[in-house]
Structure 1
Amino acid sequence: MMNFTNQISTATDPAKIVDELAQGKAEDYNIGFLFVSGLSNTAMAEVIALLRKRLKVDHLLGCTCAGIIGSEAEIERLPASTLILGKLPGVKILPFSLNQTQFDDFQQVDDWLQFFNVFPNENPKFLILPDPFLFDMHEFLSGLNQVYPGCPVIGGLASGAMQPRENLLFINNESFEEGIVGVALVGNFSVSTIVSQGCRPIGQSYIVTRAENNIIYTLAGRPFIQVLEEVLQKATARDRLLAQEAIFLGIAMDEYTHNFKRGDFLIRTVIALDQSTGAGVITDYAKAGQTVQFHVRDAETATEDLNELLLSHRKKEQNKKPLGALVFSCNGRGENLFREKNHDISIIQKCVGPVPAAGFFCAGEIGPVGGSNFLHGFTNSIALFYPEEETAA
């Protein structure tokens, strides 16, 4: 029977960390995830080696991070470790690791299929842990979306370092300072995904009428800046203040939808305004014909968004409880945004718990929006595990 168990430790000595994490974990497990913050890579390597000796787990993977998440606590800016172990009977687990040099050799569909050793009709679910440096995540996700359409990819970018080759990624007995580690899961189970981008729309939606790469020149035939100024003039005082801190653009995943709601937009940041051309620059490619809408974000909106998405999911599942959860939250959330401890995990447990959970504060979050997988920021990307294929991923 599928089940998960989680344990956290705030110890700093590798032997003590392993004692605390492995306590009462004498059973056989199919998979485990370990996330560690505040330790040197040498100390983490020792934790991994000791843990692999103590546990009976087929596949163990993880990474360094800026803060960890357990079933009942989020620990930031302090040394801490979180471990989740899962029994997945009847599920095939396909581990992999990949660096940029290897990825550069992917020239055709067969290269992807041979590397992952799984076909699209097997409906794989991918759980990935990339390093934020020296690997082209956008191209990787674009390729996965094309080769494995509709298959969810969930994960988070390692956040334990500010420089290339200072994070540590590992899978089983291999460790890496760059690239990506992960698993593809195939079998009679379900992973439901919640991607909370924490934004809400302001104004109305517009059609992009001229764009090049990540520069949007016109919306509905008018300069981007002119449209934005008009939206802000009609906005509330509070929304204008939020827009001064950061303004976002939601790209509609389905242009044929008329009444847009949460989850219908892929949120991207407006990073620059060009007064000479009237254009806006965003953190993604844009093209003419797309439907977009301006968005704002704050703690209240992010709280509301996570609550609403989880409660909607629970209703869809007819209150069925997930058996395990992986939580990938932006390192810009947590106490930085909400000014309180354990914010997101408390909401998760309130809405869909009790559920064993583990995760970390990431340098970027990965999850599906509108059926395709993307790299996000300021997002909480959650994977909820169910024992049989009754829910859509």
Structure 2
Amino acid sequence: MSAFISAHAGHADWTIAFASCREQVDRQLQQGQNPNLGWCYLSDYYAKAAGSILAALRDAMPGLHWVGAVGVGVGAGAVEYFDEPAMALMLAELPPDSFKVFSALETLQACSGFEPFAALVHAIGATDVAAQLKALSERTASGYLFGGLSSSRTQALCLADDVLAEGLSGVAFSSEVTIVSRVTQGCLPIGPQRAITRAEGNLLVTLDGARAIDCVLEDLGLDPDLSDPELNGALAATLVGLVTTSEDASAKPGQFGANTEVRHIVGVGRKSGVLAIAETMENGMRLAFCQRNAVAAQQDLLRIVGEVRAQAEAAGGMRGALYISCSGRGGPHFGARHAEFKMVREALGDIPLIGFFAGGEIARHHLYGYTGVLTVFAGPA
């Protein structure tokens, strides 16, 4: 696998940012190197110009397939462009026939010489995204998807050799492309993992046979007689990590596994002892209460970056990386501007790294929120 190349720039005029990115790419291109796949992430300030930008990319760098998305922010290296006009590019020369760009679920079919193993997915938010992700996952040999939903204050858009305003799109990779990926939940469990013994829709009635409210009070170390305002304040800062009955719930103590979906507590019935959760639940699912804060987010992010780096280096080395974070995590959540991408860059080292701030993050066949998904392309040079 050849060296990856990345470039980024911000400017009110996209043509000036594009010219800067092209100069950066030209400066890094090595003799004999012929990239065949490119990633392009645009902040939503450039959404209206997405078609013109894609055309300019094709003219300047013919022979490449392009995938990407629009987000409220983009990142590259240790720099975040949040709520400002910018673009981030990454190019790679992958083995011939080792990838396939798709613009809809139906277009990703196994064909002669290519079997999808894993896929980068960009999507436009819709009510059936979860079902589409599951169907797409089933068309890959590993079942592993990674990516995110376009986020925009104007128009959500994705790129897949064209500008798309709906559906799922992206690029599938064969097993010839080594990919190492992890999701960071940005929070840590504060209590034991419990079994849901009674749930009705989004209402959590009992855990391990006990009233849900008694369990959360116990795990938070709160007095059962605290006032309603104190209870509401504590629950507003508390979330739940859910694992479905059909998936492996294993994780190291004090950590969430990759199959955990974190959801908010949205209501409480003090007399009934019921908690309302922003997700439909079923009896038999596993649940742990958790809290999200800057310290927990930093600890969990550094943990998954370390795991990814170790696995990628064992596979021959890191070539390039994508980091897709929730738009709700950027900026102050990590203490300062640029802090999140800076942490990833410093922990990974000096390799091409780009990404965007999404309206929902994809890992395996799950759609997450308030998470970060790091994916590294690995293998010998």
Length-normalised TM-score, structure 2:
0.85
Number of aligned residues: 360
Which of 26, 38, 43 is the aligned partner of 1:37?
A: 43
Instruction: Compare 214-223 and 251-260 and name the one that shifted more.
Output: 251-260
Could you tell me how far apart the structure 2 residues matched to 1:213 and 1:62 are?
36
Could you tell me how far apart the structure 2 residues matched to 1:81 and 1:270 are?
32
TM-superposed CA distance for 1:180, in Å, is: 2.4
Could you tell me how far apart the structure 1 residues matched to 2:341 and 2:265 are?
30
Runs of 4 or more consecutive aligned structure 1 residues displaced over 6 Å after TM superposition: none
Give the aligned partner of residue 109 of structure 1. none
257 and 331 in structure 1: CA distance in 2 versus 1, 3 angstrom threshold: closer
2:118 counterpart letter in structure 1: K
Give the aligned partner of residue 354 of structure 1. 350
Provide the secondary structure at the position in 1 that maps to 2:290.
strand
254 and 35 in structure 1: CA distance in 2 versus 1, 3 angstrom threshold: same
Residue 161 of structure 1 pairs with residue 153 of structure 2: yes
Could you tell me how far apart the structure 2 residues matched to 1:363 and 1:41 are?
15
TM-superposed CA distance for 1:20, in Å, is: 1.2
Which of 122, 125, 129 is the aligned partner of 2:122?
A: 129
277 and 146 in structure 1: CA distance in 2 versus 1, 3 angstrom threshold: farther
Q: Is the 8 A contact 1:207 1:219 kept in 2?
A: yes
242 and 35 in structure 1: CA distance in 2 versus 1, 3 angstrom threshold: farther
TM-superposed CA distance for 1:387, in Å, is: 2.5
137 and 68 in structure 1: CA distance in 2 versus 1, 3 angstrom threshold: same
Give the aligned partner of residue 257 of structure 2. 263
Give the aligned partner of residue 227 of structure 2. none
Residue 96 of structure 1 pairs with residue 112 of structure 2: no
Give the aligned partner of residue 367 of structure 1. 363
TM-superposed CA distance for 1:330, in Å, is: 0.7
Give deviations 1:348-367, integer Å, cap 9, x for gaps. 22222211011111111111
Provide the secondary structure at the position in 2 that maps to 1:226.
helix
Q: Is the 8 A contact 1:248 1:267 kept in 2?
A: no
Q: Is the 8 A contact 2:187 2:291 kept in 1?
A: yes
1:338 counterpart letter in structure 2: F
TM-superposed CA distance for 1:242, in Å, is: 8.5
Give deviations 1:311-359, integer Å, cap 9, x for gaps. 2333445565410011101111121312312222222222222110111
Could you tell me how far apart the structure 1 residues matched to 2:63 and 2:17 are?
17
The unaligned stretches of length 5 or more in structure 1 are: 104-111, 389-393
Residue 219 of structure 1 pairs with residue 207 of structure 2: yes
Residue 87 of structure 1 pairs with residue 78 of structure 2: no
189 and 170 in structure 1: CA distance in 2 versus 1, 3 angstrom threshold: closer
TM-superposed CA distance for 1:202, in Å, is: 1.0
RMSD: 2.7
Which of 291, 295, 298 is the aligned partner of 2:286?
A: 291
Residue 247 of structure 1 pairs with residue 253 of structure 2: no
Residues 114-153 of structure 1 mapped to structure 2, 5 A cutoff? 115-118=107-110, 122=115, 124-132=117-125, 134=126, 136-148=128-140, 150-153=142-145
1:17 counterpart letter in structure 2: A
Give the aligned partner of residue 330 of structure 1. 326
Could you tell me how far apart the structure 2 residues matched to 1:200 and 1:260 are?
6
Length-normalised TM-score, structure 1:
0.83
Could you tell me how far apart the structure 1 residues matched to 2:208 and 2:330 are?
37
205 and 135 in structure 1: CA distance in 2 versus 1, 3 angstrom threshold: closer
Give the aligned partner of residue 159 of structure 2. 170
Provide the secondary structure at the position in 1 that maps to 2:45.
coil
The share of aligned pairs that are identical, in percent, is 26
Give the aligned partner of residue 391 of structure 1. none
Give the aligned partner of residue 13 of structure 1. 13
Q: Is the 8 A contact 2:203 2:277 kept in 1?
A: yes
Which of 28, 31, 41 is the aligned partner of 2:34?
A: 28
Could you tell me how far apart the structure 2 residues matched to 1:375 and 1:56 are?
34
